[in-house]
Structure 1
Amino acid sequence: MTSLTDLAVSILVNSKTLDDYAKEKGVSTSAEDRPDWRNAPVEIEKARLAIEDAADSIKRVARQPGAFLYEQFFKYTDISVMQFLYYYKIPHLVPLDGTTTYATLATQIDVQKVVIQRFIQNAIVIGYFREDPQTSAISHTRDSRQLATDPLLFESLGMILEEIMPAFLNAVPALRKWPLSLEINETGFTHANNTSKTMYETFETDPLRAKRFGGAMSVFNREAENSLPHLLSHPVWSALDKQCGERPALVVDLGGSLGHLSIALAGITKTVKFEVQDLPKTVDAGVKAAPKELVEEGRLRFRAHDFLTAQTETADRDVVDVFFVAQVFQNWPDKKVVEIVRNLLPRMRRGSKVLVHERMVPERPRATNEGRRARSGDMLMGSLLNGQIRTPQQWREVFREADARFGEVSFNTMNDRGLIEVTLES
């Protein structure tokens, strides 16, 4: 049994680790300045997560019985505050290197000063903006400044408020309407939008929503890049480089967008060839943005392909050594994932692999921040698309159902993402 003192000591020890690292980098770890821990070494990330979890554990122990329900209620006030900041573009109205006043903001957005104070002071409580104790002037914190200076992050806030939040709030009404459905057009999102179209089909017909979605995906992908060093260090890539035979190894990046992961992998291999597959418009954009030297060397090519249709083997479609699938399967329910995996088989031979790179959830829920993020991600995918973030056992069942020739499924956890590997054995 871990005591409060044990938890406090853990926080102290790990805080010293972070302080030493920050001092080495010449940055402050004060509550006001909050350093950026992204791309920190693995041991620093472990220390940071340990602090988060220990702090939450202390809070749970020290909290009065019944107080948790009120904390959940307060999250709705936070959402209302974020709506105010987004709709009125408040971060953009506060000078980056100066201050403003409640009266000035009231004039700018034509809202009563007392109402602005209510929202801004609630924003201050959760870390956005500062209020001068003498003059009541408003200035930026790091988080509010980032909303003002990072357009994609601001688009992400809009995506969360206008697309994701309604989908979450409609997840149970959708379940009551379609109790046994796992169709991608019978979800919290479709219920919230009163449509039979999927989320992607909805965005295709609305350029403004599509633009906001694209901006949000850029930010989410930016966060996913934290696991890139771990992905690049996986031994499968060096093994492919050493593969003997008449031809270099071929990796197909399924649903690979503009090919950013294939380009990164090409940079740490010498002979491996990469084929990025996606829908035609995305492929056209990828071809235009691709590094010319990789294309000219024959190590990178793009091919238009819908992964809901079977792969075809022709003279210019070689047998594939590895199908690399990054953050694709989480968008789909099991029956569709099984279908997609089966569609790969025409270009696979004995020894061909499927490598899946996406978030995993543990078999049992854990009351940790990492566990919460994983479970929240699963709720998100379910509410939007009836997709799923899977446990190791669920991955085994998916591949077993897809084809009995798939062997044992192995798992390599990397930061908050995992690499799921399976080989076609016959």
Structure 2
Amino acid sequence: MASTTKIVELSLLIAKETAKVDGFLSRKGLAAPSFDEDAPQSIPIPDESADIKEARLAVIEACSELKDLMTGPKELLRFKWTDYVSVKAILRFRLDKSFPVGQSTSFEAMSKFSGLNVMNVRRIVRHAIINHHFFKEDTPGVITHSALTAILADNELARNSLVVELDEFWPAAVRVADAMEKWPNSEEPNETGFSLANNSSKSMFDIFAEEPFRGERFGRYFSQDKTADGLLDNYPWAEKATMVDVGGSHGSVAISIAERFPHMKCYVQDLRDTVAEGASRLPTELQDQVTFMEQYVGDLNLTGTKLTTISDFFTEQPVIADVYYFKSIFHNWADKYSVKILQNLVPALKKGARIIIHERILPGLESLTTVDARRAINLDVGMLQLLNAQQREMHEWPKVFSRAHPGFRYLGAHQPPDAVRWIIEAEWQG
């Protein structure tokens, strides 16, 4: 009997796992996935239905592999150089805002709204329909929203995220190879694809500091990530009394800890405007537990270039505490500067103090095909293009701590169930 080929194996898997998801949605009376403008914005699978979530991911991974196999190597080598032209134009000229969700429009009306001529509107919109499911044209010349453009029209955070990715991240990606050639193996945050794309000798942080609109837009891009991502239930906070959230933004993690553990005293350190806003939002009942601290904005000499927007990751930590917490901070810095961040904790550290680094860990070879692995690896390259920074593999973390000081003892890392980030921990032994 002939063995089953890979493409048939994948197709059978897709059919099997799709049936699981479809059956679940049907039993629960939930809408099937669709690109209609009134479709659910995400597939509503609750956390407790882990088997259905796994089935959905299996379908996504298998579909991706099957598509590539059926495309073939030669055609896969072709670069889609027009891929996001239409999306960027739609956002720039606000075509998604040109008519309300639930209504229809025409190319002529979109032209009048945007100032683009009818020919350019038509070519841009049809490119976006074919390639990205942006808008729908079920009747020739009659344009309605799709599920995607309905989200953009009504959800400013989602829209802002796409704008940032296309206006800030995409141009930097195009210049990464140029930066690697110009500054071989650089760890400096101002020698990047982002710097070249902006015709600047400054880092992304400095550039945004000089252009507040861009900086505010970038800040909003990350404002949606307020989850503790398994931290509260998977770390022994009940045994601790004090914690410092370094670079803690508006304090969402510290506030969550304070609410869950009333005995905890939490400090949130970030830049002046950020902590001022965080303090203004702090519930009255938590004011004795959570303190916002403005970090000093000091100078750091990076190979001769002054970066005046670096917060005091690079000055001595003033607070003595049981735990120092860093959420998605170290992946913004190359090893050279990650070591400096740790070294500047040392003056405040008491024996037994813990350092928690809460961020993704790059997957090993055994899990490179998963959706989560792809996201982690893509983020790693994103850190390269923006800041010459990096995501790290499991084996790299002990080396970072040992380079910083022999007094650090690496304790290991674990990933809470269903969490994206890992809890990476070290202890100060002095």
- For normalisation by structure 1, the TM-score amounts to 0.87
Residue 240 of structure 1 is matched in structure 2 by 237
State the distance in 2 between where 1:171 and 1:39 align: 38
Aligned to 2:70, which of 62, 67, 78? 62
Distance change (3 Å), C-alpha of 1:111 and 1:25: same
Match status 1:303 vs 2:293: yes
| Range with greater deviation from structure 2 (402-411 or 256-265) | 402-411
Residue 341 of structure 1 is matched in structure 2 by 342
Distance change (3 Å), C-alpha of 1:320 and 1:45: farther
Residue 29 of structure 1: how far off its partner (Å): 2.0
Aligned to 2:266, which of 274, 284, 304? 274
Distance change (3 Å), C-alpha of 1:123 and 1:262: same
Residue 417 of structure 1 is matched in structure 2 by 421
SS at structure 1 position matched to 2:105: coil
**Amino acid of the structure 2 residue aligned with 1:299:** Q
Say if 2:244 and 2:323, in contact at 8 Å, map to a contact too: yes
1:96-131 CA-partner distances (Å, limit 9, x unpaired): 111111122223323332332221111112211111
Distance change (3 Å), C-alpha of 1:421 and 1:77: same
State the distance in 1 between where 2:323 and 2:356 align: 7
Residue 275 of structure 1: how far off its partner (Å): 1.0
SS at structure 2 position matched to 1:274: strand
Distance change (3 Å), C-alpha of 1:145 and 1:196: same
Aligned to 2:379, which of 377, 380, 391? 377
Residue 20 of structure 1: how far off its partner (Å): 4.5
**Amino acid of the structure 1 residue aligned with 2:336:** K
State the distance in 1 between where 2:421 and 2:102 align: 37
Say if 1:29 and 1:35, in contact at 8 Å, map to a contact too: no
For residues 251-262 of structure 1, the aligned pairs below 5 Å read: 251-262=243-254
State the distance in 2 between where 1:412 and 1:307 align: 25
Higher helix share: 1
| Range with greater deviation from structure 2 (333-342 or 179-188) | 179-188
| Range with greater deviation from structure 2 (104-113 or 249-258) | 104-113
Aligned to 1:193, which of 193, 198, 201? 198
Say if 1:178 and 1:186, in contact at 8 Å, map to a contact too: yes
Distance change (3 Å), C-alpha of 1:18 and 1:352: farther
Match status 1:130 vs 2:122: no
Residue 8 of structure 1: how far off its partner (Å): 2.9
- For normalisation by structure 2, the TM-score amounts to 0.87
Gaps of 5+ in 1: none
Say if 1:326 and 1:356, in contact at 8 Å, map to a contact too: yes
State the distance in 1 between where 2:403 and 2:177 align: 29
Say if 2:415 and 2:421, in contact at 8 Å, map to a contact too: yes
Say if 1:94 and 1:138, in contact at 8 Å, map to a contact too: no
State the distance in 1 between where 2:179 and 2:349 align: 39
Higher strand share: 2
SS at structure 2 position matched to 1:230: coil
Gaps of 5+ in 2: 296-311
State the distance in 2 between where 1:182 and 1:385 align: 8
Match status 1:12 vs 2:4: no
Say if 2:326 and 2:358, in contact at 8 Å, map to a contact too: yes
For residues 94-133 of structure 1, the aligned pairs below 5 Å read: 94-125=99-130, 126-133=132-139
| Range with greater deviation from structure 2 (400-409 or 11-20) | 11-20
**Amino acid of the structure 2 residue aligned with 1:300:** V
SS at structure 1 position matched to 2:395: helix
Say if 2:41 and 2:147, in contact at 8 Å, map to a contact too: no
Residue 86 of structure 1 is matched in structure 2 by 91
Residue 284 of structure 1: how far off its partner (Å): 1.9
Distance change (3 Å), C-alpha of 1:111 and 1:311: closer
Match status 1:142 vs 2:142: no
Say if 1:153 and 1:215, in contact at 8 Å, map to a contact too: no
1:25-57 CA-partner distances (Å, limit 9, x unpaired): 543123323551478416144332222111112
| Range with greater deviation from structure 2 (210-219 or 384-393) | 210-219
Measured on the aligned residues, the alpha-carbon RMSD in Å equals: 2.3
Distance change (3 Å), C-alpha of 1:162 and 1:37: same
State the distance in 1 between where 2:261 and 2:25 align: 33
Say if 2:229 and 2:421, in contact at 8 Å, map to a contact too: no
